[in-house]
Every structure is written in structure tokens, then in C-alpha cells.
Chains A and B, each alone.
Chain A
Amino acid sequence: MRKLATCLLFMVAATPAFAQLRLTITEGVTDPIAIAIVPFARAVPADGGLDVAEVIQRDLESTGRFKGMARNDMVFKPTTAAEVDSPGWKQQRVDYVVVGRVTSQPGGQVRIDAELVNVLTGQRVAGPYSMGAAANLRNSAHRVADALFEKIIGVKGAFATRIAYVSVDGKPPSQRYELYVADSDGENRVRILASPLPIMSPAWSPDGEWLAYVSFERRVSAIYVQHRRTGKKSMVSARAGINGAPSYSPDGKKLLITLGGSNGNLDVYLLELASGQLTRLTDDPGIDTEAVMAVDGTVYFTSDRSGSPQIYRLTPGSSERPKRVTFTGSYNARPRVSPDGKQLAVLTQADGAYRIGIQDLASGNLQVLSKGRQEESPSFAPNGAMLIFAGRERGQGVLQTVSVDGQISARLAADAGEVREPVWGPFLP
């Protein structure tokens, strides 16, 4: 047991060295909720030295909706709600106080119990709690932050989720491409794939266990699916010409893909993974690509059949012609559907720049959310509250997030190299 604890400490201590992405809020709400997250009672040594309260505070602050109280300003550091003196905290202009305890459990498990106190009402909300293996204490802390966010804001948090992204190192023409998976805060980065030839278009399976992507490792494009944990990798399409733009159907059994064939005419197909059966969904001389399927089965895709790229929709199995969805501006591409199916995130041209837009599907209104010159690859958080996308800063690719109302922006910058094509994974079971 002592040996195990030493190992865990060693591994946790090693983690920050790989924390490649750093999050900075660039624009938050004007009046964030003041919250004091008091250091939790620790379980030594089972907690591996992890500061659970700090993880929770960083999660909540990363949304731009919260301002955490500095620990130096905390007069008392209670660990139970019963010890929280509401009037005292109220004087310090705090809206909420979070207290908690980390306890060691049988079988290598560690439990986090948190309590939320509304300072204005004095109301004490027991829980949330989260239990998991000691090695995954950080994930348990994210789950507590998810629940706290939901209790205060009314929307489930998306902190205990993962993102995948492509990293590029080196200068043209000799670059190195890598595919990474990390926690949504950039921690626990794991390299999935590396290649001297391009890797692009990562996409999550709905259960968060698989990644589909395009790799040119055989000099030509091919689509692969790879198991996140075991690394098991299968090539699912290496047909003549372009194999691109994979995205999973909501049931995880099919991939929407783009094929170009030897004559180079890009159309959208549906590939059933178990049988390999291929169904053609579009047949047009223009470029049809970047298809994605909504929960109701509607397929949205980019097509330049009208002359410039715009978003169209179709229903697989229907004989109806694809219908155009976007009419604002001369360039709309790379659609992604919100988890509730009501909004479409797109790459749109506005004021001569490429920016992230969000279109309400019922009204057709398109709102531009970002402010950069060259942005791309929007991807919804599984709670539908935020988008992650790729932007540029001083010539380098960085990852950025923006709330779907455009009010809150943050940046996830890499220490070195360029990061691009972020995709936000699903809620984990």
C-alpha cells in the first residue's frame, strides 16, 4: 500500500509538466458571481497532494461567470457547511461558499463531499459528492464542479469531459502532426497519434471511447477509427481519391464521410461501420463535404453547388433534394449541430474575416460570436453552452472558447507549436 501511494504521488506530481494548454479568460460577464471555494479537508496520502478546491475554482472561473475569492482573503477556512458563518462572508461580498472534504475509502477509492452555502439566504445545499479511484481524483473534482455549476446556473457543467485536437510543430515544408486527447481544462494530455504527414478532422464517437480522423500517413488520405484507451486502430476508408470529413451518427454505428473518387468530385456518404456498407447521400458536381448528423437524423453539410460554400440539409432515405439552410453572407461552412438540435455553429465570413457564427435553425438568424481574423472548426460543448474553436494569435494557432450568447470568451494557448481542430467530447458515463 505504501508503495502504491508513492507511485501515485509521483504520477500526480509529474502531471503539470504535460499541462500543455493554459486557459485565460479574455472576456467574461460584467458582474460575475462571487464564490469562495475554501480548501477542502484532505485525505493524506490518498489524495496524492491534489488541491481539489483549486481544480473546482479553476473550472468555475473558466466559464467567465464566476470570480473565486483569493485564499489570503479568507478569514476562516471551514470544511463543513455547519461551520460557515454566512453574515461574515456576506460582509466580504461573497455570494456562495463551497466547503468540502476528501476522504479515503476502502479499495483505493477516494470520496469528495462538497457543500454549497448561499450566503444571502443562508441556505445550505448538501452534496454534491463524487467518488472514484484515487488516480482519478482530478476527474472526480471536475464532476463536483459540474454539479455545483448546475446547482447555481441551472445548466449541467461540462468540466468532466475531454477534448481532442491536432498539434503541429515545425516550419513548412517539414512539419510534424500529432493528435491529442486532454481533459477539457487541458490537463492529462495523451498523444493518440503522430505523423510527418497531415492528421486532420478528428471526431468523437457518441460514447467518447473512439476517435475517427483523417490521416495522410500513406501519402494519400484515409479515414481511421481508433480506440482512445487501447490505441487499437482500424482503417475504415481508403478509397481512390479523397477520404475525408468523418463524423459519427448519433447512435455511433455509422460514419458520415466525404469521398472524392478518381474524378475528384466530392460527395457525402454514410458508412455503416460493422458491415462496411456505403450509401451515397449527395450527387452534385460541386464540393459536398463536412456532413454532420443531428439527433433527429437530419444531415447538415457544406456545398458550393450555388457557387460559394453554404450549408444544406437533407434527410437520408428521402428523395427530396437538399435544402439550403444559410443565407447570410457569401461563405458558410463546417456546420455543427447543437446537442438540442436547435442551433447550427458554422464558419462564416464577416467583414472580410473568417469567424464563428451560430444560426438559430427555426428563425434562420445568424449571429457572429468571435472577433478574430481567421477562425475555424467550431465544436459544441456537450451541454450546448459553449463552443470551442481554433483561432490565431501572433501567427500561431490557439484554441478558444466562446459562450453561445457570445458574452464569454477564453483562450487555451499551447506552450509550443500550433494547436488546431479542437473537438469537444461527450458527457462521460
Chain B
Amino acid sequence: MKKLVSISALLGTLALLAGCPAKKPDVPPPPPAPTSDTTGVEDPSTTVGDDTTAGPPGELLNQRIVYFDFDRSDIRADSQTIVNAHAAYLAKNPAQKVRLEGHADERGSREYNIGLGERRGQAVRRALALQGVAETQLSTVSYGEERPAAAGSDEQAYGLNRRVEIVYLK
């Protein structure tokens, strides 16, 4: 696909070099835009750089993923020790910030799954806050089913994809 795109760009350039007129619109110019720039910042057009850091070492602290059951957002007993370890570290290091990235498996509607991923991120946020982590250290983002950790449409992949990733920030 990338190849096609680059061929496309090349052909466009060749067309320009050959003196082809720019492709004319097939309809008259558009009516005034239904929006204006006053409503938002103009897009920076580049993706923001990597803002993550390796984070603290340690057997428990190296585990940064909290898994969830189907359609659930409560932290399972087997994940509690991992959450507790991060809570203790973050409470002792109040300058350290983390981003809680919530995810869902691929079943169901995409925007609804954004909501499910957010619920999971919020569950981890509350658990950390309850153990003394400041709200200013915590932020959440939900990617829903858009950034799977594992490919495939089976229970194993679903289980790996229903997760919250604790991401340490610079």
C-alpha cells in the first residue's frame, strides 16, 4: 500500500512537471465553511514525540499491564499486587507522572469500546489515588479496541487486549 501511495505521489509530480493543469473540481466552489478556526487550534500536523520513559525497575514494577475480564472494569485479585506496587512507588515519588491507557477487546461497537477502555483506566486511577498517589500524577486515555496488543479473534487475544497499560512519563 505504501508503494502505491508513493507511486501516486510520483505520478502527481510527473503530471505537474509535464505541465498538466491541476485537477479541476467537478462542482462549483464550496459554500462558506460550516466551521471556523476560532473553535480550535490549528493542527500541529506532526505527531507529538515520545513522552515515555523506562520507569522504575523491580519484579512487580516491571509489570505494567493490568488485565480485565469480559465486560468488567474491576481490578482482578491477581492484578492487585501489581497495582499496589505502582501505588507505593508513585506515592513516594510525587514528581513522577503516569498515563493510564485503557483498552477493550475488538467485539462490539468502536466508540462504545472507547467508553469501556476509559472505565478500566478510571478504575486503575481510583485504585492508585486511594493509596495516596496525587491526582496530578495521573492521567487517562482510552484507545478502545483501536490499539490491540495481540492480533486474532479468539479468547486468548481478547484477554490480552482487555487491559490498562501503566505508562511512565518523562
Contacts and interface: CB of A to CB of B under 8 A. Distances in A.
A304 B108 CA distance: 13
Interface string A236-279: 11100110110010001100001010011010000101111000
Contact of A273 (B36, B51, B146): B36
A167 B1 contact: yes
A290 B111 CA distance: 7
B4 A17 contact: yes
Contact of B149 (A10, A172, A376, A377): A172
Contacts of B4: 17-18, 20
B1 A196 contact: no
B119 interface: yes
Interface in B84-126: 99, 106-112, 114-116, 118-119, 121-122, 125
Interface stretch (A48-56, A75-83, A87-95, A198-206): A198-206
Nearest to B115: A287
B54 interface: no
A428 to B, nearest CB: 7
B15 A11 contact: yes
B41 interface: yes
B77 interface: no
B122 A263 contact: yes
Interface in B115-151: 115-116, 118-119, 121-122, 125, 140-144, 146-151
A235 B43 contact: yes
Nearest to A428: B27
B160 to A, nearest CB: 10
B147 A266 contact: no
Interface residues on B, range: 35 or more
B57 interface: no
B156 interface: no
Contacts of B121: 264
Given A276-B38, A416-B1, A139 B26 contact: yes
Given A263-B122, A274-B35, A135 B108 contact: no
A131 to B, nearest CB: 11
Contacts of A374: 106-107, 153
A273 B41 contact: no
B40 A237 contact: yes
Interface residues on A, range: 35 or more
Nearest to A291: B111
A421 interface: yes
A347 interface: yes
Given A209-B30, A234-B42, A266-B115, A241 B140 contact: yes
A309 B141 contact: no
Nearest to A14: B11
B58 interface: no
Interface in B151-169: 151-153
Interface in B12-49: 15, 18-21, 23-27, 30-31, 33-45, 47-48
Contacts of B151: 171-172, 395
A360 interface: no
B107 A421 contact: no
Nearest to A264: B122
Contacts of A217: 43, 47-48
A232 B40 CA distance: 13
A219 B141 contact: yes
A195 B142 CA distance: 17
Contacts of A290: 109, 111-112
A61 B152 CA distance: 34
A295 to B, nearest CB: 17
A429 B27 CA distance: 7
B111 A241 contact: no
Contacts of A135: 23-24, 26
A217 B147 CA distance: 13
B34 to A, nearest CB: 4
A205 B33 CA distance: 10
Contact of B141 (A18, A220, A236): A220
Contacts of A241: 118, 140
Given A18-B8, A220-B141, A289-B115, A302 B122 contact: no
Contact of B35 (A195, A216, A221, A236): A236
A7 B20 contact: yes
A48 to B, nearest CB: 12
B7 to A, nearest CB: 7
5 contacts: A197-B147, A245-B114, A264-B119, A264-B140, A416-B1
Interface of B: 1-2, 4-5, 7-8, 11, 15, 18-21, 23-27, 30-31, 33-45, 47-48, 51, 99, 106-112, 114-116, 118-119, 121-122, 125, 140-144, 146-153
Given A4-B21, A216-B141, 20 more contacts: A4-B20, A11-B23, A17-B7, A139-B26, A172-B148, A177-B146, A197-B147, A198-B146, A200-B111, A201-B111, A207-B30, A217-B48, A219-B51, A236-B40, A242-B114, A242-B118, A274-B36, A287-B116, A347-B108, A395-B152
Interface of A: 3-4, 6-8, 10-11, 14, 17-18, 20, 132-133, 135-136, 139, 167, 169, 171-173, 175, 177, 191, 195-198, 200-201, 205, 207, 209-210, 216-221, 224-225, 227, 229, 232-238, 241-242, 244-245, 248, 252-253, 258, 260, 263-264, 266, 271, 273-276, 287, 289-290, 302, 304, 309, 331, 333-334, 347, 354, 373-374, 376-377, 392, 395, 415-417, 421, 428-429
